[in-house]
Structure 1
């Protein structure tokens, strides 16, 4: 049966009602973490006292599978000075890193992943941090599978001097290294064009060295909900 309702009529009515069917709002149904406040407070306490406590506090996370792309033509500049960038590009693969930040000094290390970022690879990173910092430091990280696997848990049990502070689930903002990743993306990766993954990594390593030359202690402010 033809009801005489056209697409334009429906569009008009939805517009009048302020209904935007093309927009989607998502959310996460999750159980509240009863220890959320205490976990965040522990991270805040460790980070803010790192400058005076003398104990090394490291923030760690993975930056995975960054796509390396090369434009088919080089950038050009218009008469008004604006840069025109070629839309088409060639994929050159992906590159991943383990990012580590010293919360007292702000020094950043981007450890390139050479294999799958599984438990074995993560334990190699932990051993690297142990060799550089000894067996007495604080490690802030999330609940990723490689961070909580049986192999990683066993390794940490063998090194009781390494204190691990896990961030609450779905709260990546608690980990200071996430802010570093955001700065890295804006300053190097977002607008960078590279011909190889090695070239991309060299740019990231140069950025990390330059950033680490200036002392930038991590500042963490947070107030628990009333």
Structure 2
């Protein structure tokens, strides 16, 4: 007589209940995973369970929290009904509230605050804002140039970027002043698995240095000069360095901002004796048109912001190291994509908007 296999033995009442529920068409796939969790999670960590059942760790924690109540404790709570559709009038009310009225005690509207005042759900406010492309939480800076020669200067500078002259170099030149050599009051805690790099919030100052840089748009390489002060004398020294560092037969088109240092009498005298230097000035309040500013941002982000310097000498070494590595490994031709007409139109629209809102005379 054949012996019954263990699989055919009479199941326990608890097992029968689980089997009946698994066969119930209203008990969905999530519940089958929950049953599997009961069978497989004994002695395993949440991470092991999540990997074994191919679910996320939060799901495992949710199941374990409901485990003492059995399968009923693991069921999802009843779903809410579909959100109510807002009327057009209510949507307009939310838009008006967000754009024209600022609540007392706050500078801008949040989702929660707007929902409270409009007596709607946070989700509904989010939908109205998304449809209207409203982002009250964001803030950008701007400054409209009042340069009377704005259009001519934009055309000139953009023309140099997009169509550089033959037998010439186009150099974007500016200075980054008062770079601080900052050290932390305690040693930094290094990056490791499970821990981000950390540093103290306070710091020690060890002096400053200034940097002049010329960014070659055709190669992406930079010429740098580090100084202790930022005067016409130091700027002249940098122009001489550029003169020595470039081929003598090339014209040098130098794009600058409107700093008084760049227009000093001594600078004008020197330029008159070196006619291959041709200066082009960006419009006032438009330093963003000088592409070396983007290179300065890379320097700050990659070499300065997260480092600690015990002296000005350490700071200078870091700046020089960044310039060397950039020129050897990271330099690439710069591509300016926005045409002059588009820039001029955009600024004119901003001026018109400012006048309409009585922000500009």
Does structure 1 residue 159 correspond to structure 2 residue 244? Answer: no
Structure 2 unmatched ranges of 5 or more: 1-100, 109-138, 346-361
- CA RMSD in angstroms comes to 2.6
Change (3 A) 1:20 1:157: farther
Aligned to 1:193: 308
Structure 1 unmatched ranges of 5 or more: 1-15
The one of 141, 145, 163 equivalent to 1:49 is: 163
- Residue 27 of structure 1 deviates from its aligned partner by 7.2
Aligned to 1:71: 184
Q: Bigger shift: 31-40 or 182-191? A: 31-40
Aligned to 1:112: 226
Alpha-carbon distance in structure 2 between the residues aligned to 1:98 and 1:128: 11
- Residue 191 of structure 1 deviates from its aligned partner by 1.2
Q: Bigger shift: 203-212 or 169-178? A: 203-212
The one of 215, 219, 222 equivalent to 2:335 is: 219
Contact preservation (8 Å) 2:145, 2:284: no
SS in 2 for 1:53: coil
Does structure 1 residue 129 correspond to structure 2 residue 242? Answer: yes
Aligned to 1:5: none
- Residue 37 of structure 1 deviates from its aligned partner by 2.0
Alignment of 1:202-217 (within 5 A): 202-213=317-328, 214-217=330-333
The one of 103, 106, 122 equivalent to 1:18 is: 103
Normalising by the residue count of structure 1, what TM-score does the alignment of the two structures yield? 0.81
The one of 97, 107, 110 equivalent to 2:211 is: 97
> 1:141-166 deviations in whole A, cap 9, x for unaligned?
11111101111122212222211100
The one of 131, 150, 169 equivalent to 1:36 is: 150
Contact preservation (8 Å) 2:174, 2:256: yes
Does structure 1 residue 60 correspond to structure 2 residue 173? Answer: yes
SS in 2 for 1:83: coil
Structure that is richer in helix per residue: 2
- Residue 48 of structure 1 deviates from its aligned partner by 2.5
Matched pairs, number: 208
Structure that is richer in strand per residue: 1
Normalising by the residue count of structure 2, what TM-score does the alignment of the two structures yield? 0.53
Contact preservation (8 Å) 1:47, 1:104: no
Aligned to 2:10: none
Q: Which has the higher contact order (CA 8 A, sep 6+)?
A: 1
Contact preservation (8 Å) 1:99, 1:108: yes
Alpha-carbon distance in structure 1 between the residues aligned to 2:168 and 2:214: 16
Change (3 A) 1:89 1:177: same
Alpha-carbon distance in structure 1 between the residues aligned to 2:174 and 2:140: 28
SS in 1 for 2:240: helix
